[in-house]
Amino acid sequence: MKTLTIGTLETSRIAYGCMPLAGWDAGAPAAPTRAKAVRAVRAAIDAGIDCFDHADIYCRGRSEAIFAEVLSDLGVGRERLRLQSKVGIRFADVPAGAPGRYDFSYQHIVSSCEATLQRLRTDYLDVYLLHRPDALVEPDEVARAFDELAGSGKVRQFGVSNHQPAQIELLRRSLRQPLVVNQVELSVVHSHLIDAGIVTNQSSVSYGADGTFDYCRLHGIRIQAWGPMASGRALGSISADAPPRDQELARVVRAIAATKGVQPEAIPIAWLLRHPAGIQPIIGSTDPARIAAATAADGIALSREEWYALHIAGRGSRLP
Ligand SMILES: NC(=O)c1ccc[n+]([C@@H]2O[C@H](COP(=O)([O-])OP(=O)(O)OC[C@H]3O[C@@H](n4cnc5c(N)ncnc54)[C@H](OP(=O)(O)O)[C@@H]3O)[C@@H](O)[C@H]2O)c1
């Protein structure tokens, strides 16, 4: 698979998201869940993916733990992989009575990172991300946590997720390490951040032009796309009772897939890869056939006309 750089790191240009790997049922994953996780991670590695995305909250920490077990089962060495995880979202009732909340405190960032390293059975993370903005963020406190994690060798690079430019600027003023990633929701049917840059000053458009995309490009911050398949919605739908937009998207996706000789799953991923920002899609399917189909996007390139045809079908209204 072709590669891209994240700060100083070279990695596969498609990443794999480990969110559902352990299943959301409480307790240790049952044997079928574990077998499914093995098949999914093996399919991702077979496709050439070396970058794996985690968070402390995924399956309440169990996705990180099962991932380490799967690597051991597969005999894949840590040194072959790029591992990233996230911190900052806290569940309700931990501790008892607490609300669901965000937490960028020094204590939480450092202790959560240590727990993640233990679960992943590794000494270091390649990239560590702040998961979602914390209204009570104290940038100097985040800087103290990052200094400790970088100084002890536990984290090599840092980034953010779901952050706006001003929030990144606020952090950058205090941090001594660069922020190298902003992981955002992005797909052909959730293309607001791209749309915001091309519909400037059009009164019919209600979402704001916050410049997140161009800000990240200007500052060398790699954009990672979570939800690149929008749980399958990025393929549209051929069902007769589907909304016209979904039917039209399915038609365009299938026509381009047929031209390129790939399965439809490759097309929403190819749409992200075609963008000159060098977006890294994080695919989340646990189905080996879907993983293989989606990663075939690495072998095709969309023309400008194909890219815009998909964009128009996905947003459901014409340009300009
Ligand atoms: N930073 C954040 O706030 C944030 C938020 C959410 C996710 N993430 C990260 O991004 C990763 C990917 O997110 P995502 O799971 O939303 O990604 P996705 O690739 O858009 O969606 C994958 C999901 O869609 C389902 N799906 C249904 N039809 C599909 C089809 N034809 N092709 C492919 N998938 C289909 C998959 O089910 P099957 O497994 O049955 O194929 C799976 O549940 C996560 O694992 C996580 O690492 C980050």
Which domains are assigned to the chain? 3-185 (3.20.20.100)
Rounded to the nearest integer, the mean pLDDT of the chain is 96
- Name the residue of 16, 18, 19, 187 whose CB sits within 8 Å of the most ligand 1 atoms, as the mutation to test its pocket: 19
Residue of 16, 58, 215, 308 marked catalytic: 58
Does the pLDDT at position 203 exceed 70? no
Going from the Cα of 221 to the center of ligand 1, the distance in angstroms, rounded, reads: 23
The pLDDT score that the predictor gives to residue 24 is: 81
Query: Whose Cα sits closest to atom 4 in ligand 1?
Result: 226
3-class SS of residue 193: helix
Going from the Cα of 226 to the center of ligand 1, the distance in angstroms, rounded, reads: 7
Express as a percent the part of the chain with pLDDT over 70: 98
For the purposes of burial, counting CB atoms within 10 Å of the CB of 280, is it exposed (0-12), middle (13-18) or buried (19 or more)?
Answer: buried
Please give the number of the atom of ligand 1 that sits closest to the Cα of 18: 45
Give the bridge partners for 85, in sequence order: 128
CA distance to 63, 68, 130, 218, 286, per residue, from 22 (Å): 5, 11, 22, 37, 11
Express as a percent the part of the chain with pLDDT over 90: 92
Q: Which residues have CB under 6 Å of ligand 1?
A: 17-19, 53, 161-162, 183, 226-232, 235, 265, 282-287, 290
Average confidence (pLDDT) over 248-264: 98
CA atoms of 71 and 21, how far apart (whole Å): 13
The pLDDT score that the predictor gives to residue 204 is: 63
pLDDT tens digits, 107-144: 999 999 999 999 999 999 999 999 999 999 999 999 99
The tokens of 148 are what? 């400790």
Going from the Cα of 208 to the center of ligand 1, the distance in angstroms, rounded, reads: 26
pLDDT tens digits, 16-75: 999 999 988 877 788 899 999 999 999 999 999 999 999 999 999 999 999 999 999 999
Going from the Cα of 225 to the center of ligand 1, the distance in angstroms, rounded, reads: 11
Q: Is 58 noted as a catalytic residue in this protein?
A: yes
CA atoms of 193 and 32, how far apart (whole Å): 38
The pLDDT score that the predictor gives to residue 198 is: 87
User: Which residues, 6 or more positions from 4, have their beta carbon under 8 angstroms from its beta carbon?
Assistant: 10, 11, 13, 222, 278, 280
